Copies of this chain bind each other. A is one copy, B any other.
Amino acid sequence: MNVTFNKRDPIYLQVMHYFKRLIVSGELKPGEEMPSRRQLANQLKINPNTVQRAFSEMEEQQLLYTEPNKPSKITEDPNVLRQLKKEWLNQAISQFVSAIDPVDISLDDLLALIEEEISTRKKDK
């Protein structure tokens, strides 16, 4: 459980983002149990209600489901999962293209820089 919170964004959003990422990557599998709200709050040294907020929003987005008095679980709905991955990717690309729009650089150079960054990261990990 490697989470570091930045001070700028709301913690509940950062918690959501952390778990969404795990779902997108497949590290959290459909049907898998989430940690309990209190337990997670203890680990992260945050208030249980902050976890509750993150979880209940993820539940609204149908990423989690909760049976009464049981820990929440990752959705098993393939449509929801597919949609999540799709949106995650679209959002990343859209934001990226928008960010580099003002920069004067050729497409080839840009793609080369991306490849370079990716291979650098592979090496480092």
Residues of A within 8 A of B (CB): 21-22, 24-26, 85, 88-89, 91-97, 99-105, 107, 110-111, 113-115, 117-118, 121
Contacts and interface: CB of A to CB of B under 8 A. Distances in A.
Judged by DSSP, the binding face of A is helix
Contact of A115 (B91, B100, B104, B107): B107
A99 B114 CA distance: 12
Contact of A96 (B88, B96, B101): B96
Contacts of A94: 117
A94 B114 CA distance: 8
Contacts of A24: 102-103
A104 B105 CA distance: 27
